[in-house]
Structure 1
Amino acid sequence: MALAWALLLLLLGIEPLVTRAWCSEEDLDSHIQQASEPEFPTTLDFAVRTFNQQNQDWHAYRLVRVLSSQREDSWAQTTPKLTFSMKLLLRQTLCGKYEADIDNCPFQEGPELNNTVTCFFTVSTQPWTAKFELRKKRCLDGIS
């Protein structure tokens, strides 16, 4: 009987180790990408900041979700670069695009608003020199 209880406790103790978080595979992949690539968050910030600077709208957009991302290393040139391609879901906020704290600004709400944009960015970076270059940007209204 003691062996059965010990086995039960052992199994119950192991179960939480295999329990997955309540998030989609897409979200999980995004978190893995961001955790495994220390240069990715600053490159992501550059892409969103550049989108806001180039956008004609007065309101700022901020990141809702990273839909996909990929890293490519370029060693063929004299100066090595990292290149990230990323598909992002952005949403319009209540804040102006030149306000200081856009990351905490609430999203615009309303069923009549089409305030989401899906963008594909390719950004090259030399993180050791803090240089970024937007190589490609393609955006579509809504979720695609």
Structure 2
Amino acid sequence: MLRRVALLVGLLILGAHICSFQFVDIDKNLQYVMITAEYAVFQFNEDQEDEFAYKFLRVRKSQRQMFSWIYLIDMELGRTVCKKRDEDIDNCPLQEGAGEKKVRCSFHVDAQPWITQFTLLNSTCVQT
């Protein structure tokens, strides 16, 4: 009997541990998703050697890790005519012709937007 109880407790702990790492789809228009996406784009621009800023085009998919505030956001960015330090990048037109570049990125962000604290855990980008 004691072995069965120990096995059951072990399985419950293992199951909770496995479930806690699963990501579930969430509405990409949620305020927390948009704030987290804005941070991810800012961080992308900071990390790029390119003098031109990229701006958010669209969120393709958004997920949140169960029982946490870790987001996985898949989005598209476009290269603008504005420099990285310009003020209103969201209203900058995209570059056309030879300077046109678009990237698709997946950002893994630990977010606590209610206290404006974000940590970029990982990002992967490919040019489209």
So what's the TM-score if we normalise by structure 1?
A: 0.66
Report SS of the residue matched to 2:31.
coil
Structure-2 separation of matches of 1:121 and 1:72 = 13
Identity fraction in percent: 36
Unaligned runs of 5+ in 2: 1-24
Asked if the contact 1:84–1:124 (Cα under 8 Å) also holds between the matched residues in 2, the reply is: yes
More relative contact order, 1 or 2 (CA 8 Å, 6+ apart): 2
Structure 1 residue identity aligned to 2:123: K
Match of 1:124 in 2: 110
The total of aligned residue pairs comes to 104
Match of 1:52 in 2: 45
Bigger CA radius of gyration? 1
Runs of 4+ aligned structure 1 residues displaced above 2 Å come to none
Report SS of the residue matched to 1:33.
coil
So what's the TM-score if we normalise by structure 2?
A: 0.74
Matches within 5 A, 1:94-133: 94-110=81-97, 112-133=98-119
Q: Is 1:43–2:36 an aligned residue pair?
A: yes
Q: CA deviation at 1:102?
A: 0.3
Structure 2 residue identity aligned to 1:104: N
Structure-2 separation of matches of 1:49 and 1:118 = 15
Task: Give the aligned CA root-mean-square deviation in angstroms.
Answer: 1.9
Q: Is 1:33–2:28 an aligned residue pair?
A: yes
Unaligned runs of 5+ in 1: 1-28, 75-80
